[in-house]
Chains A and B, each alone.
Chain A
Amino acid sequence: MIADFPLVSAAYEARRAQREASKLPKIWTLLDQVCDPEIPVLSLWDLGVITDIEKSGGRLTVTITPTYSGCPAMQTMHDDIEAVLRQAGIDAFEVRASLAPAWSSDWISPEGRAKLTAYGIAAPKSCDSCQGLALDSDIHCPHCGSADTRMTSEFGSTACKALFQCRSCQEPFDYFKPI
């Protein structure tokens, strides 16, 4: 049993409301197939990287925002969105990167959190009051659900993850850091 309660943050609620109010639901659905190149179970929607889709004068603008300043996957995400739009026969578009508001791990969808856990990555804790200064504790192992875990490295294979080990099942795992 995985002890990860679905967390619906206010930040995610705001994102969902924006998507539901959008006049371009088909484009949102179309782009649901574009996934994070480094965590391929997460769509860019799940992650919160696609922040807006607008159409003006027949031209589509897709706005994306980086997770971390130096996220090396941004260009790939950009290219993948372009490829999907072109494949759907859309040629008049622009993929625009925007920095504000700064991305937060709270933007990840509840489905995205469940997918992360199933993939073996512990989902981030709520970032409402995170200052990056408290030691992360009470992180549940995505394999056996135990909370008896310890951090082995502040950074993992990518900037957005830390390395943990479970003391119950001994498995190492990634923890998606709250930011």
Chain B
Amino acid sequence: MKDKILEYTTRLGDDSLVLGHRLSEWCRNAPFLEEDLALINVSLDYIGRARMFYGYAAELAGDGRSEDDFAFMRDQREFSNLLIHELPKGDFAYTMLRQLFVDVFYSLFLPRLAESSDETLAAIAAKAIKETRYHLRRSHEWTLRFGLGTDESRERAQRAIDQLWGYTHEMFDLDALESELAEAGIGVDNGALKAEWERQVIAILTEAELKLPQEEWAVRGGREGYHTENLGQLLNEMQSVHRAYPGLEW
């Protein structure tokens, strides 16, 4: 069971780190200063979560690896993040609509994880819930502003929704490992969150006068290590210093 919790914890760490890194790419590139601050603070919350998950994974592994080894010394195929986290930052509407989808997801996922019988996973989740509430308020408000704003903001938001939608389904899949941990009261049954997630997302999109895409398509594979080309590029940049100077410490 310990190995299974280790893998589950690593997956959650991968989700947080990859999205945290994507958000950090807005640093000094956001449309205005306040947004720059906001996006990198949200990024920091995710990187903080990644550190807590990886720190716990390192403790479970007990083989001398540190949180840094998890972040910097694994290749693309070993990363098991859900694909939606690794998609490029795109334009500002794309980034904020992705946030809306994942923020609603985490606002449902984290309260369940906080009830985990694994005390460390529960503690990390209890801490993260508070931050996610702030994140969701912001992505909700931005979605309204895009949808009810100008023709251009509405078009960009709609394009983002159309491009992202097929990546949302993977968030609710469960493989054998996740099913087993959910049944054991350690992990979360993501599948059970889907109806409520859709209800909340549709309510927000409707409020913003935006539409759900009609096409039925879905991309999957993150949990098995099959990624889009974007992850390799992200890791290449994120891991470059650590790879060039192995063992370097600040």
Contact = CB atoms under 8 A, between A and B. Distances in A.
A112 B134 CA distance: 24
Interface string A101-141: 11110000000000000000000000000011100000000
B65 to A, nearest CB: 19
Contacts of B46: 70
Contacts of B51: 69-70
B57 to A, nearest CB: 15
Given A70-B46, A159-B44, A154 B122 contact: no
Given A69-B45, A132-B137, A159-B45, A102 B127 contact: yes
Contact of B38 (A66, A68, A154, A158): A154
Contacts of B119: 100
Residue of B34, B43, B46 most packed against chain A (CB within 10 A) = B34
Given A70-B44, A70-B45, A132-B134, A155 B128 contact: no
Interface in A53-75: 66, 68-72
Size band of the interface chain A makes with B: 20 to 34
Contacts, number: 80
Contacts of A77: none
B137 A68 contact: no
Interface string B35-54: 00110011111111101100
Interface in A147-176: 152-159, 163
The 9 closest A-B CB pairs, nearest first, are A70-B48, A132-B133, A69-B48, A153-B34, A70-B44, A100-B123, A99-B123, A155-B38, A155-B41
A155 B136 CA distance: 13
B49 to A, nearest CB: 5
B52 A157 contact: no
B138 A68 contact: no
A153 B37 CA distance: 9
Nearest to A70: B48
Contacts of B49: 69-70
Contacts of A154: 34, 38, 134, 137-138
Interface string A7-41: 00000000000000000000000000000000000
A157 B126 CA distance: 24
A155 B134 CA distance: 10
A87 B127 CA distance: 33
Contacts of B136: 132-133
Interface string B80-102: 00000000000000000000000
A99 B53 CA distance: 12
Nearest to B130: A179
A172 to B, nearest CB: 11
Given A70-B48, A158-B41, 20 more contacts: A66-B48, A68-B131, A69-B52, A69-B124, A69-B127, A69-B128, A70-B47, A71-B48, A102-B126, A102-B127, A132-B137, A133-B137, A153-B37, A154-B38, A155-B38, A156-B37, A177-B134, A179-B130, A179-B131, A179-B134
